[in-house]
Structure 1
Amino acid sequence: MSDGALTVLDGNHLRAIDLSLPEAEVSLTGAQVLDLADSKASSSLFGLSLPQSLKSSALKRISLQDDDVFRLKELDREQALKVITDYITAIADELKDDPLVISVLDGYTLRLFLEDEDDFAMLAENLFTDLDVEDTGKINKNEIRNALVHMGVEMGVPPISEFPPLSDILKKHKADGEEELGQAQFAELLQPVLQELSEALAKKHFVTIQNIKIVNGSKLRKLLADEKQLNIIVEKILADGSGNTEKIRSFLEKTGTELGLPPSEANEAVALLYDAVFADLEEAGEDKFGNLVKQILEKFAEQLEASPVFHDI
């Protein structure tokens, strides 16, 4: 895997995880079991620190209360293994319903810039120009931090506050001073900083969650399997008069995200999805209106399962 590539975490990475317990342990506390499970899950997800919301949802899914009583409770090996198995399975199921999109920074993108003199020269020039807001041909040495912020994750640079080795690299090269630099001097400082950063990332990858939502039809499938909830949706659509396909579309465009549909205004792909689902539908009388709604939602679920929609959060 290399910088810039997006990876979807949909739970599959956790399905074949090794759930064995440390041989030496006869019993474990609830806290130790959860920590062990989190560690195993994180290792299988490229070292990602699991979001608290994901962990909480997984615990809720298996009706496990993560409180002092449980955390202090002694569990024998059989009990501990069951908790770990159920918990990691729940995390996988949560990711299936609501996948995460991550980038793994391993220094690859930075190495590409550094290996090509022309690319690096252009990068340094563009950064210097952006930072030289007063067009004096000079910037302070400490602007190197802003240069790295400008590059960002998209160009292989992790946030300084979240990757401690980068702060150490900047200190090593005394990049916090007020000394003024010209463009050539700026490039001379930037190059070793990026070189050492790429080496640090090669040793310890940085994983970041992207602000991207994936809608894959999983939530919609759950709704379709719940007849009571489905009937409530039908009643809501019919609440202000007789129903037709236009009314269904209008309702779904306004409230579909609550049901598991992507926002209708998200991007062109969503507009095309709606057009495809509502193409060639026949109107239905009130007695068959519920079947029509179900048919439409099933078409959405099928389309999203085959081609999940990505949109910015």
Structure 2
Amino acid sequence: MSHQLVKSLIQPRGIETTPKLRRLHPVEASLRLLLRSNNLLCCVSQETKDQIRKTIRNCFVFQQPLTVNITFGSYKGKNVPSRIYANWAEILNVKFMLDTLIKIAEIYPFGVVLEYVLQDILLTELNDISSDDVSRYIESFQEIVSLFQPSLSNIVTIKTIRYGDIVDHHEFKNNISKEIEKIKTEWKLSENQELAKAAIERAKRNLQKVNPSDGEIIESAMFHTAYVRTCFTLDYFETKERIFLVHRKTISGNKPFIPYRSFHSSAVQFWVGEGALVKNGVLKPTILSGKQLGEHNPLYSIENDAFETRNPNLKSIAVYEKTSS
């Protein structure tokens, strides 16, 4: 039983489609599958829907694969027990995405690409994360991707790209510095106090440094805000040939990003979360934040005998039970 449960986590099963959906044009059917309400963190504007539809149509007309992009940080959150290496949260995210994209690939005739861009530069300045830890994380994430390859047909592929390979480092750092100066001014305004407070609280959770000063926390918060604003200004993200998903509800700018869940049962960003099984009558996989882990009792771990791995975080998967309130 435990073998099959663990094995199922690396076997995309697809999602149910209806005869009505399959009768639609591939462009419209692909759009509807991608924007299923169960996948979204919040509502998507009509303008964004129209732009996504246009991207799918352009790819269809030019007979190109449909590329779905997720750009994320190459590190684990400091408040989860499995540090440095990717864990079951990354596995659950890849599976969640493939469940939808496999069904799209059955309808869209020119193939589908799931593209992960791993942000791997300036993370020491961002969250005090060493370059060695970044490299270990990326290697462990790429191993996870390889686990799924045997179950994929040639109409769905997964790509991993290092952010540092598509950006001019000097220009990127200069642009962040300029953005920080804007943020310093913005955060002095009364209407931006809630945004500033939220950014500072996020920095407290994510900054890896031990006992950081208030000044260091504020600097990290400003750097993170500037980093997120700047990273999507590259020409790479201006293309009309990709669909961009973000695992957050809001992002600055007017690009047609889709606010996506990390897993069907979780809104936690997978790279700072812990993948686990939660017992509630039955065992259900999910992604827990550091705060949510504190609201659950660890029960036991299930040994992973379904696949071989070098990653210590994947040797077993923890089972939790929600704490009684």
TM-score past 0.5 threshold:
no
What TM-score do the two structures reach when normalised by structure 1? Answer: 0.22
Q: Which has the higher strand share?
A: 2
| Structure number with bigger Rg | 1
